[in-house]
Amino acid sequence: MKKRNNLLKMIFAALFLALAYVMPFLTGQIPKLGSMLCPMHVPILLCGFICGWQWGLVIGLIAPLMRSLTLGMPPLFPVAVCMAAELAAYGAFSGLMHRALPKKKPYIYCSLLLAMVVGRLIWGAAMFACIGMNGGSFTLSAFLSGAVINAVPGIIVQIVLVPILVMLLERVTEKEQGRPL
């Protein structure tokens, strides 16, 4: 049963990586829309919740770098590098919190919000470091603009969509296995 559980996690992780790779194509024609909706974030958050923190961390780290290296979008430095840090935090923290907190609906929101806050802070720290290495400066207003103000539509989508999908996916996997992943 444990082998089957690990295989199922691996399959879901591959699915979430594929979704993170493909979803930006939905907004690719309008780059401003893509940065507002954050299409790679949802699959990575789901990966942490469904597959666990280890898979969430790895898939979050790989997804933006893989897209950058194969498609040139997002640009590798500093954008994809900083997104990799952010998404790795999203995947890890959503998985860690979901495992640590009681398995009740309100705690899905707690896990999600904490992962989102930590991920944004890590993105800000990474941008500060990367831009600082090039002699530039990453100000608090640039952080607030990039992490919050411009991303409000994506934040709303994540808060609405992720908990619903987590509950649905957990219900499906429980029926399939007779217990949660």
- The pLDDT of residue 26 is 86
- The pLDDT of residue 178 is 61
Angle between the N-to-C axes of helices 53-71 and 81-100, in degrees from 0 to 180, rounded to the nearest 10: 160
Parts of the chain with a pLDDT under 70? 29, 31, 176-181
Q: Sign of torsion, CA 145 77 35 88?
A: negative
Residue 24, token pair as written in the block: 């930006």
What is the distance in angstroms between the CA of the first residue and the CA of the last residue of the chain?
Answer: 11
- The pLDDT of residue 103 is 85
Query: 180: Cβ–Cβ under 8 A, 6 or more apart, which residues?
Result: 103, 170, 173, 174
Q: pTM for this structure?
A: 0.93
- The pLDDT of residue 29 is 67
Residues 92-145 pLDDT 10s = 999 999 999 998 999 999 999 999 999 999 999 999 999 999 899 999 999 999
Domains of the chain: 2-177 (1.10.1760.20)
- The pLDDT of residue 180 is 57
